[in-house]
Amino acid sequence: MTNKISFRFLSASVAAVGAALALSPAAFADKAATGNVTVNSNVAANCIATVSGSVSLTGYDSVVANASGGSDLSDSSTASIAYTCTKDLPVKIELGYGSNAVGTQRNLANTVNGDKIAYNLLDGSAAWGTNANSAAKSVTGTGISQSAAVTVVIPKGQNPSFASGSSYADTITANLLY
């Protein structure tokens, strides 16, 4: 008899659990609780830039072509600043005065004797400078790569020295301000 009672009890328990499982989905199907999940984000202001190309102005002729009555020497291969900035981000691109500047005048320095040749950087026909002198180039980010051309001009009428095997050089830093 003991075995029969245990068996009946076990059978009744299994049947009750099965009935509860069968009723569960139906018992809750017509009831629901709703709520909203708020999702927030912000857009980071960011830019990346690379400067490509170097400008090689060769043959400054202080006696004839670039003498006082001659013409300025301009570059034939314009350097370029490629930049990608967050869409609609206002940005200013400034070009420093270089490592050989005297005040705000950029200069190429002779690698042998330190003699200097003044030069200018242009954005089209306007001087390109720093944010401090309001000559930085104003642009707006698009989220895709853009570029800005840099034109170099050596003004006529200078009298730089010639030193065999030497060259005149300078290095400019480009900054994106945002």
Q: Look up residue 101 and give its two tokens.
A: 């500047």
Q: Look up residue 96 and give its two tokens.
A: 């420093």
Which domain does 145 fall in, by range?
A: 47-177
H/E element holding 8?
helix 2-28
Q: What is the mean pLDDT of residues 9-30?
A: 54
Whether 98 is covered by a domain: the verdict is yes
| More reliable by pLDDT, 87 or 150 | 87
Whether 10 is covered by a domain: the verdict is no
> CB atoms < 10 A from the CB of 16, how many?
10
| Number of domains the chain is built from | 1
Q: How confident is the model at residue 24 (pLDDT cuts 50, 70, 90)?
A: low
pLDDT of residue 132: 83
Whether 5 is covered by a domain: the verdict is no
Whether 125 is covered by a domain: the verdict is yes
Whether 14 is covered by a domain: the verdict is no
Q: What is the CATH number of the domain that holds 139?
A: 2.60.40.1090
Q: How confident is the model at residue 28 (pLDDT cuts 50, 70, 90)?
A: low
Whether 37 is covered by a domain: the verdict is no
Q: What is the mean pLDDT of residues 120-143?
A: 89
SS3 of residue 92 by DSSP: strand
Whether 80 is covered by a domain: the verdict is yes
pLDDT of residue 40: 95
Q: How many CA atoms lie within 13 A of 75 on its CB side?
A: 20
Q: What is the DSSP letter of 113?
A: T
Report the percent of the chain where pLDDT is more than 70.
81
Q: Does pLDDT of 108 surpass 90?
A: yes
H/E element holding 49?
strand 47-52
Cα separation values, 28 from 21, 31, 32, 51, 93, Å:
12, 5, 8, 65, 63
Q: How far apart are CA 115 and CA 93, in angstroms?
A: 29
Q: How far apart are CA 38 and CA 11, in angstroms?
A: 49
Q: Are 170 and 98 in contact (CB under 8 A)?
A: yes
Q: What is the DSSP letter of 64?
A: T
